[in-house]
Amino acid sequence: MTKKEKIEIGKKIHDGEMTAKDAADAFGVSRHAAWRWSKAYEQNPSQEGKPKVTPSPSKPLGVPAASADAPEYEAMGKEELIKELMRRDIEVARLKKGYSVKGGGSRKEYVTSSGSSTK
């Protein structure tokens, strides 16, 4: 599959014309690959350079997820800290059950962690 085809598929997924599952089934690739193409398109729609694809963490309760670096807890208010703790508790519970949530809203996707130990 050419880079141009991947970009076009990523655009269709990003624009909601098809889901990552539909793309995976139609083009014989994994859902994860189709999802990555969508994220690559989202981060660099002009495709002028090679996009850096980073998975977007789940964001329950409308709280922005913490970055890879430690969040600055000192700058957070009590309500923000409570929401962050709840978000992390939900994420840990999901991981213990063997799945995670990618995206949000109508593009929410449940990803199972099959083949890996969750204990």
74 and 117 belong to one structural domain:
yes
Query: CA-CA distance, 94 to 92, in Å (whole number)?
Result: 5
For residue 112, CA distances in Å to 2, 81, 94, 119 come to 28, 28, 10, 15
Q: What's the pLDDT band for 49 if we cut at 50, 70, 90? A: very low
Q: Are 59 and 104 in contact (CB under 8 A)?
A: yes
Do residue 47 and residue 72 come from a single domain? Answer: no
Q: Which residue did the predictor score with more confidence, 110 or 85?
A: 85
The rounded distance, in Å, linking the Cα atoms of 91 and 101 is 8
Check whether residue 85 and residue 101 sit in a common domain. yes
Q: Of the residues 14, 35, 54, which one is the last residue of a structural domain?
A: 54
For 111, list phi and psi in degrees, rounded to 5: -115, 120
Domains contained in the chain, number:
2
Boundaries of domain holding 77:
57-119
Q: Looking at the structure, do residues 9 and 22 belong to the same domain, yes or no?
A: yes
Q: pTM, whole model, 2 decimals?
A: 0.39
Task: Single out the residue in 20, 37, 54 at which a domain terminates.
Answer: 54
Confidence check: pLDDT of 116 > 60: no
